[in-house]
Structure 1
């Protein structure tokens, strides 16, 4: 799609390279990537007049060194404001308003097994707390619960902790973020109090994943899996563990750059590059039926 906004590749590449050097969580890789972008620009590889095409070309180069799928020059069809992070928020708001706040499905299956689908993303908590609380409270009396993350592409770490709080009994350390400077770190814990009713930490819990499950949705599955709280059913996830921020470098292009890395307190690792490995591997399309069978069998036992 060609935009009406004039595209000058050189300033876009220069600003993207500068942002990499200043913010990317791995400084040595940032230097390598900035050099690659400038070299490709000098070679004429970015001589295009289409913002979407430039985003595609630059993203391929950004991900060519270490495969970091959060590292992108992301195209937006709608013009986005210049403020830091504004591009992502504008796109999220449109999705929020058309997905019942990120909880588009709550259903009771045979045998008292509830399904709560969280999609397309885990929206910022100041938006999502009310609809997520309503969905999880509605499912709280169920005998077993299936959380469907197959179509979830990520989201807010605070929202991950909020959802986990409904699925645990006690305040629990979930994750630690390590930032680029190497000195700052930030722990994520489940909450001591939630509005509404908890499903709790003892009844059977299953999490559905697909190859599309990514970023914050992966953290939700990984945190619950590592705690031994949930059985993950489905496909290996996308493998994006680095929290990122976004900068508008053109009215239709956002440079998304990871600024930290997540370390789980149980495994001492994260899911970057490897994805979350399911406990019960199966095709995503059949994972709901498989999890339902597992839940019924456990309840019968």
Structure 2
């Protein structure tokens, strides 16, 4: 049965074994109409997230049949074809401020690296630099660290770790080879919304924790756990978080709480608020 399969996968793979057992037990007696897969996906997602609100734990319905064992490279290439290489917009604002809109997903470095480098080259000398993550819904940790590298010094910086259920750790550091480097004297603002999630949150959180950016906007969605995907039917897929993020500065992450803005405001007002704060800081500096 579908429910039994989901319970087994959650017990076996969810990042926190004790919570995995609680989530699996919560599905005891749960019934869905398996002939209506879109409705079943929505009901199962709500049930799975009811225990601890993990936004990465969900059942997703796909109208087209799911390709079994898809090649990760093909998957990323498809995301890039659909959404672009991670840079949506680059422009200079009045007063020489630079705007870099990142998202809606941050793909692997082979795609995002050239796009970020080109964008920052076009914005060279702009001040402040505003990184807009209000529509960024996810991304690859390696690429997030690469973006942070453009904004930090010449020495490698430990950004975060991914700690897997079995205790294994993958570390993420900035790299020294990226170009251009943003002048350390240029103030950086990061814009967030309630929709900002996962990899978009990580970029905001990392820059805030390193003291390299001021976060302006709304509390973000609160999804810090990377996931693995398991096919349930040709059209249903279970997403199970299998690791947790640990920021190298704070020792924790944004799971369940989101990134807290330094300057809270409505997402729609974030650019104006960031520009106003930068102008005020510049006046004080004079």
Aligned 1:12-31 pairs, distance under 5 A: 12-31=2-21
CA root-mean-square deviation: 1.9
* CA 1:218–1:262: 2 relative to 1, 3 Å: same
Greater mean deviation of Cα atoms: 244-253 or 209-218: 244-253
Distance 1:82 1:38 in 2: 29
Distance 1:17 1:119 in 2: 33
Output one character per residue of 1:99-152: Cα deviation in whole Å (capped at 9) or x when no partner.
Answer: 431211001011211000001111122332222222223223212200000001
Distance 1:57 1:82 in 2: 24
Greater mean deviation of Cα atoms: 17-26 or 141-150: 17-26
Distance 2:151 2:63 in 1: 38
Q: Name 1:180's counterpart in structure 2.
A: 165
Distance 2:71 2:272 in 1: 38
Distance 1:202 1:253 in 2: 49
Q: CA offset at residue 16 of structure 1?
A: 2.2
Contact 1:140 1:198 in 2 (8 A): no
Q: CA offset at residue 98 of structure 1?
A: 4.1
Indicate yes or no: 2:27 matched with 1:37: yes
Q: CA offset at residue 38 of structure 1?
A: 4.6
| SS in structure 2 of the partner of residue 263 of structure 1 | strand
Q: Name 1:140's counterpart in structure 2.
A: 124
| SS in structure 2 of the partner of residue 187 of structure 1 | strand
Greater mean deviation of Cα atoms: 157-166 or 123-132: 123-132
Greater mean deviation of Cα atoms: 69-78 or 13-22: 13-22
What TM-score comes out, normalization by structure 1 length? 0.88
Q: Name 2:257's counterpart in structure 1.
A: 274
Q: Name 1:217's counterpart in structure 2.
A: 200
Indicate yes or no: 2:227 matched with 1:237: no
Unpaired segments ≥5 residues, structure 2: none
Distance 2:251 2:113 in 1: 29
Q: Which one of the candidate residues 41, 46, 56 is aligned to 1:70? A: 56
Contact 1:242 1:260 in 2 (8 A): yes
* CA 1:85–1:55: 2 relative to 1, 3 Å: farther
Contact 1:119 1:149 in 2 (8 A): yes
Q: Name 2:134's counterpart in structure 1.
A: 150
Q: Name 1:7's counterpart in structure 2.
A: none
| SS in structure 2 of the partner of residue 104 of structure 1 | strand
Q: Name 2:105's counterpart in structure 1.
A: 121
Output one character per residue of 1:178-224: Cα deviation in whole Å (capped at 9) or x when no partner.
Answer: 11012x11211111111x31214331000000000011111110111
* CA 1:73–1:169: 2 relative to 1, 3 Å: same
Output one character per residue of 1:231-269: Cα deviation in whole Å (capped at 9) or x when no partner.
Answer: 000000001111112122222222111111111122121
| SS in structure 1 of the partner of residue 39 of structure 2 | helix
Distance 1:297 1:85 in 2: 50
Distance 1:120 1:152 in 2: 4
Distance 2:19 2:173 in 1: 30
Number of residue pairs the alignment of both structures matches? 283
Contact 1:118 1:149 in 2 (8 A): yes
Q: CA offset at residue 28 of structure 1?
A: 1.5
What TM-score comes out, normalization by structure 2 length? 0.92
* CA 1:222–1:47: 2 relative to 1, 3 Å: same
Unpaired segments ≥5 residues, structure 1: 1-9
Q: CA offset at residue 165 of structure 1?
A: 0.8
| SS in structure 2 of the partner of residue 158 of structure 1 | helix
